[in-house]
Amino acid sequence: MSDFMLPDIGEGIVECEIVEWRVSEGDVIEEDQPVVEVMTDKALVEITAPEAGRVTRLYVPKGEIAKVHSPLFAYESDAEEGGDSGQASAAPVERATAEPAPAPTATPPGSPSASAPVAATDFILPDIGEGIVECEVVEWRVAEGDTIEEDQPLVDVMTDKALVEITAPEAGRVAKLYVPKGEIAKVHAPLFAYEPAVVESPQPARSAPPAPEQPAKPASDAPQGLGVATTGRGPYGRIPASPAVRRLLREHDLALEAVPGSGKEGRVLKEDVLRHLEQGGESTPAATGRTAGTPERTPAPAPTGEGEITVEPIRGVRAVMARRMVESASTIPHFQYGEEIDVTDLLALRARLKPQAEAQGTRMTLMPFFMKAMALAVKEYPILNARLNADVSEIHYLPSCNVGMAVDSKAGLLVPNVKHVERRTLLDVAREVERLTAAAREGRVDQADLKGGTISISNIGALGGTYAAPIINAPELAIVAIGKTQWLPRFDDSGEVVRRAIMTITWAGDHRVIDGGTIARFCNAWKGYLENPETMLLHLG
């Protein structure tokens, strides 16, 4: 019998109220079946069964308070044998015991140590972000039977916010992969099992055998890239390569299939890419025997046969974006406000500052100027940087201006934010913009960089758009979409036609608390700083 421990169900939440039990003691349950609804101080949460079995006890009655990390209910899984009681935990750290009998995650038959009573340990998927209860397995970097080292990257998983790399807790050997590539893994549930490496003991009767040799794999462990290149893809149908290597390939306009991999299972290493470039490698796929694959996380084109459809699941960041945009558009009355900004002088200032920034290793774009001007305008109109409470009875004015920027990443739309823009220098803001943009495009933004935004910028003009009607990134109250800058004729003070750099912008404000006059005045203040950028010097601390 196992106890299901109430998991972390939100940032700072330590208890919740039992709203309704969907099952009774003695009921048979299936994996992922809804078992109970609980109410936190933020939301109603549905908790599902971790595996199939039978409910033996409900610890907390309806209407009572349940504590996080305390037993919520007990159950007997279908895999348990009669009389075998398990340790009470929904997230057991180990299934291994000192008994000679194999654990439930015993070494798969046919492996080099199948005959030895080696204890296996379950790796439980930990909390990997605020409110995250599941994630998609993007790529396994190891296979069952592989020897692993401590901190070795084992698997990439995609949450609803970012791509996360999970590493080995200690050295050993992979016994079982519980969740296949492309499937959903649950937080606090086993992700894989491994046999920890042990030091040889002078008492062979009680010690685990030495770490077994890795099972032979067809030419995938060969030290030279030629043998690997002809094996095609890794064990899960994809050429293995780390995100850093994929980024290097994109920077040099190289296809992953074009570079022979010398790593395990044909993994393309950084040195493989550099060697390929030194040899004058082209960006088209090389004749290595690999079959050109589909783009990363994108389905292959549908066959040309009539009526055939390609289906791609909406998961991870895209799924969350879909839910949040629907919620924001349907619950927040948006007020749109458009304007033109003459950025001729701003472009000239940026051109003068750009060499100095590059000398310090920073790329100076217009985004830091947009952010600094926004932080200054917020001081005059703080309601644009505020929050509403849940029942829209209070406005909470925030002490810092954390400006978010929408980034079109490979994982979907991410909005990391630069913290405390009002305190930072222009150069410091530029460094943060550069860091966050690079991280977002790789899908590896830290959770802290995604939380706490107070107002957002969407630079649609970087892709060529002129106008857009942005949707507010709730719980923020305002967002601006920046269109492309165009050189257009305008009349100067003397009535002469002159060539000016004109940028179009469109604001969206929460019309529950921001009226047209407020957003217009705020926009005029922001516009003033951008059209006369030297005036910002008067307000810099």
Catalytic entry in 69, 78, 515, 539: 515
CB 113 within 8 A of CB 97: no
Handedness of CA 364, 365, 368, 370 (dihedral sign): positive
User: Residue 330 is which amino acid?
Assistant: S
531 membership: H or E segment, kind and range: helix 516-531
Q: Is the peptide bond before 475 cis (omega within 30 degrees of 0)?
A: yes
Determine the Cα–Cα distance for residues 278 and 286; give it in Å rounded to an integer. 15
515 is a catalytic site residue: yes
164 membership: H or E segment, kind and range: strand 163-167
Helix, strand, coil shares of the chain, percent, nearest 5, are 25, 25, 50
CB 345 within 8 A of CB 338: no
Query: If 0-12 CB within 10 Å is exposed, 13-18 middle and 19+ buried, where does residue 281 land?
Result: middle
396 is a catalytic site residue: no
**Strand partners of residue 20:** 37
How far CA 495 is from CA of 194, 258, 339, in Å, comes to 78, 59, 22
Question: What does the angle CA 479 – CA 380 – CA 376 come to, to the nearest 5 degrees?
Answer: 70
Determine the Cα–Cα distance for residues 335 and 460; give it in Å rounded to an integer. 19
Count of C-beta atoms within a 10 Å radius of residue 469: 11
Q: Which residues are catalytic?
A: 511, 515
